[in-house]
Structure 1
Amino acid sequence: MLRGFYTAASGMIANQRMQETLSNNIANSNTPGYKADQGTLRAFPELLIEEMGGTTVPTRNGGLTLPTQNELGSLNTGVYMQEAVPKFSQGDLRETGNTTDLALLNGDLPDDEGFLFFNVQNENGDVRQTRNGNFTVDGEGFLTTNQGYYVHDDAGQPIQTDGMEFNVRDNGTLEIGEAEVQLGLSYTANAPDMVKEGSGLFTPGEDADPLENARGNDGVNFEIQQNVLEGSNVDPSRTMTEMMNTYRTFEMNQRALKAYDQSMQKAVNDIGKLG
């Protein structure tokens, strides 16, 4: 009985975490460049149930009891949410008319799981990746994200625009007066290895391969569009449906947990009196 109690409880916890993941996706459905998280559920190791018994074999001296072992089947011990993996796919494009808004479009890529990112510098001075091209210009004339992170050029340096008036070509080259600066772009052959850090930033996981310079890979094609933003890849209708299904599953586990609790209460209060 206690095993069923813990199985139902683990189901409730897993569905609660899944609901939190889906709620976060809905909250960021209008965030430019946001990549929806997909929760993965995994079952705990199953237990094999066997019946242990014995059978008597007649002998000259009366009989011999031999042990028997019959397999009854397996028993699941619960489920848990293993991790939330970002879904890397191109979001819809939306024209804004702002010169600092840039959308990065994936072209033909050499790897099925390949993906492209802008390079930015976080508050600690470390290089991170983002798909949120909702940039702006700070008081010193540097191109930054809305959080104030410097956008890097191809040489890994902050981009000085001296104002809002600049042009960006399809190949990611900024025309700032008579000067030309190339946007810093990274490419990963296996996007699921990228880990979210918050504020729309990504970084390679511990066991991930180093990122490549997108311009240094002949097989990587991309396009930069100015005055355009890439939207999130969250499907609100589908996400709401998944939230409803998760909530119903949570309620089913809750009812099962309540039934186990009532059975345990009866065993303690009623059966215990017979003794």
Structure 2
Amino acid sequence: MLRGFYTAASGMITQQRRQDTLSNNIANAETPGFKQDQATIRAFPELLINRMGKETIPTTRPFSVPNQQQIGSINTGAYVQETIADHQQGGLQETGMATDMALINAVLPDELGSLFFTIQNADGDVRYTRNGNFTVDGEGYLTTNQGYYVLDQAGEPIFTDGQAFSVTSEGVIEIDGAVIPLNIAYAENVNDLIKDDEDLFMFTDDEAAVDARDMADVSFSVEQRFLESSNVDQVQTMTDMMQAYRLFEANQKVVQAYDQSMDMAVNQIARLT
């Protein structure tokens, strides 16, 4: 009976964490370049149950073996193993802002690969993002809305001096006759990336993305005055949230049923009269 408590409780915790993931997706449905998270649910290892009888099986040897009858397996619950970002590209939304840019994956050699803008955060570490909602700070540098520098192909912050600029489809910024290529990074396997704060990605190990321009089989385009929308399917996400809520309720009722059975076993059946 106690095993049933644990199994139902693990189901409740699993659906609660799944609901948290879906809620975060909905909250960022309007965030440019946001990649929705998908919770992967896994069952705990199953247990094989055998019944050990008192009868013994006779053998030709001078001893006998206990009679063992296989009953079956029992599951011990489920848990959220991890959350994985879905890097499928979102749609384009025209904004008319010269500092907005959308990165389009034209040709990639592997379905697990993806392209990113390269960012330098406040600690000086390199991060990657699909959110091209950029701006120009008071010093004339191209930055994210959080104030992080957008890097050029040489890995340096892009200085615009507050002047108007244009961006070619090849990802080159043209300012007063000067050309500054954006640092477009290619990650061969997006599963090696984890989400950092402020809609940024980082590698799990001491790895780094490669320059997309150095990859002969990778092509991309950059659209100025456009933003990539999030890839959150709001209708499907709301449906999944309702499903998670119903499954949470079902496990909750199982816990209540076990609680009533335990109450009867302890306070009624075992009562001394």
Q: Corresponding residue for 1:160? A: 159
The alpha-carbon deviation at position 164 of structure 1 amounts to: 5.2
User: 1:44–1:79: 8 Å Cα contact kept in structure 2?
Assistant: yes
The alpha-carbon deviation at position 185 of structure 1 amounts to: 1.1
1:39-87: CA deviation from partner (whole Å, max 9, x where unpaired): 000111111001111436799xxxx975111111110001111111000
Q: Kindly tell me: are residues 251 and 168 of structure 1, through their superposed partners in 2, closer, same or farther at Cα, counting changes over 3 Å?
A: same
Give the SS at the match of 1:153: coil
Q: Corresponding residue for 1:239? A: 237
For the aligned residue pairs, the C-alpha RMSD in angstroms reads: 1.6
Q: Does 1:250 align with 2:269?
A: no
Q: Corresponding residue for 1:27? A: 27
Q: Could you tell me which amino acid in structure 2 is paired with residue 273 of structure 1?
A: R
Q: Could you tell me which amino acid in structure 2 is paired with residue 214 of structure 1?
A: A
Q: Superposed, which structure 2 residues align to 1:109-148 within 5 Å?
A: 109-148=108-147
Q: Could you tell me which amino acid in structure 2 is paired with residue 267 of structure 1?
A: A
Name structure 1 gaps, 5 residues minimum: none
1:114-140: CA deviation from partner (whole Å, max 9, x where unpaired): 100000100101010000000000000
Q: Corresponding residue for 1:94? A: 93
Give the SS at the match of 2:12: helix
CA distance in 1, matches of 2:239, 2:65: 56
CA distance in 1, matches of 2:143, 2:86: 25
The alpha-carbon deviation at position 173 of structure 1 amounts to: 0.5
Q: Could you tell me which amino acid in structure 2 is paired with residue 2 of structure 1?
A: L
CA distance in 2, matches of 1:66, 1:87: 55
CA distance in 2, matches of 1:22, 1:164: 41
Q: Corresponding residue for 2:204? A: 205
CA distance in 1, matches of 2:272, 2:249: 34
The alpha-carbon deviation at position 193 of structure 1 amounts to: 1.4
Q: Corresponding residue for 2:49? A: 49
Report the identity percentage: 57
The alpha-carbon deviation at position 198 of structure 1 amounts to: 1.7
User: 1:100–1:164: 8 Å Cα contact kept in structure 2?
Assistant: no
CA distance in 2, matches of 1:197, 1:105: 22
Q: Kindly tell me: are residues 265 and 22 of structure 1, through their superposed partners in 2, closer, same or farther at Cα, counting changes over 3 Å?
A: same
CA distance in 2, matches of 1:32, 1:128: 16
The alpha-carbon deviation at position 274 of structure 1 amounts to: 4.1
User: 1:103–1:133: 8 Å Cα contact kept in structure 2?
Assistant: yes
Q: Corresponding residue for 1:270? A: 268
Give the SS at the match of 2:30: coil
User: 2:58–2:65: 8 Å Cα contact kept in structure 1?
Assistant: no
Q: How many residues align?
A: 270
Q: Corresponding residue for 1:186? A: 185
CA distance in 1, matches of 2:55, 2:225: 82
With structure 1 as the length reference, what TM-score do the two structures score? 0.95
The alpha-carbon deviation at position 163 of structure 1 amounts to: 1.9
Give the SS at the match of 1:119: strand
Give the SS at the match of 1:26: helix
| Between 257-266 and 210-219, the greater mean CA deviation after superposition | 210-219
CA distance in 1, matches of 2:117, 2:226: 15
